[in-house]
Amino acid sequence: MRDDEELLAERFEEHRGRLRAVAYRMLGSLSEADDAVQETWLKLSRTDAAGIRNLAAWLTTVAGRVCLDMLRSRAARREEPMDTYVPDPVVSPLDRVDPEQEALLADSVGLALLVVLETLEPVERLAFVLHDMFAVPFDDMAPVVGRSPAATRQLASRARRRVQGAAPESEPDLGRQKEVLDAFLAASRAGDFEALVAVLDPEVVLRADSGALVGGAAASKLVRGARTVAGQALLFRQFADSSRLALVNGAIGVVTAPGGLPLAVMGVTVADGRIVGMYILSDPERLARLDLTPFGD
């Protein structure tokens, strides 16, 4: 029996990376994704694995069902405003990427996309993620969402239209992204308002998620327009010297850690040489769960 359990655990570990990637896209939370993977393992350990013909497919659909239940539960108890919510970023230094993080971000999942996924209904998100990102057949996921395969296809199609219409196209070249972020940080350090405006798209959107109330007022905010966003950036210019470039969900971003204490992680979307979207997570509780030790040196 012990040998069978160990063999099953080894087989599960072969699929852990894919399952975590599925769960991260479904939940936008690294800790919840790990919880979902663990729950999937528990369900497998209580199942007669000998009767599972395709373990990869079985695990993926079970993980999808677990995530769907978690999304529904979250929606029922959600209190924070959705317009300022920023999903958990995946952060690594520019000079090295953890293989586990590479697997997590395979096929590129930026913060802009995760923000749009948060606007979908749970069943739409499941259909889109499993089919469009992981090629799960509609016949396999239909029982999970409780719809026919044709209806499940419609869920994915509706989600796809919303995603394509809302997620901005990002500059794929990391070198060009870095040039834009370098210019942004230089302007911030110099307190140069017009230089900041120049590096921002006129319709730029800043989304800042601070989590709990700070100083008696909600610090989370949604700000639109280059001049307004530039003004917000100048309010935090004293932290510019503590900001370092990093890879945030596979794109160039910024980690701010004054005195080695993580204060914020910012992901951006760069298009046509300007920043069109900024996603700042400054929730201390959530930042503490991220591995930001390389930026605290």
Tens digits of residue pLDDT in 169-204:
788 888 999 999 999 999 999 999 999 999 999 999
Residues 221, 207: Cα–Cα separation, whole Å: 6
Task: Flag the least confident range among 120-134, 158-172, 236-250.
Answer: 158-172
pLDDT at 84: 87
H helix or E strand, kind and range, residue 155: helix 149-166
Residues 8, 4: Cα–Cα separation, whole Å: 6
Residues 67, 75: Cα–Cα separation, whole Å: 12
Query: Mean of the per-residue pLDDT values for the chain?
Result: 88
In the chain, what percentage of residues exceed pLDDT 70? 90
Q: What is the pTM of this model?
A: 0.89
Q: Tell me the CA distances in angstroms from 275 to 40, 142, 164, 192, 201, one per residue in order.
A: 39, 39, 19, 16, 6
Higher local confidence (pLDDT), 167 or 177: 177
pLDDT per residue as tens digits for the range 74-118:
876 766 667 788 999 999 888 766 666 666 665 567 899 999 999
What are the structure tokens assigned to 40, written together? Answer: 């999937």
Greatest alpha-carbon pair distance for the chain in Å reads 69
Nearest to 92 by CA among 101, 84, 104: 101
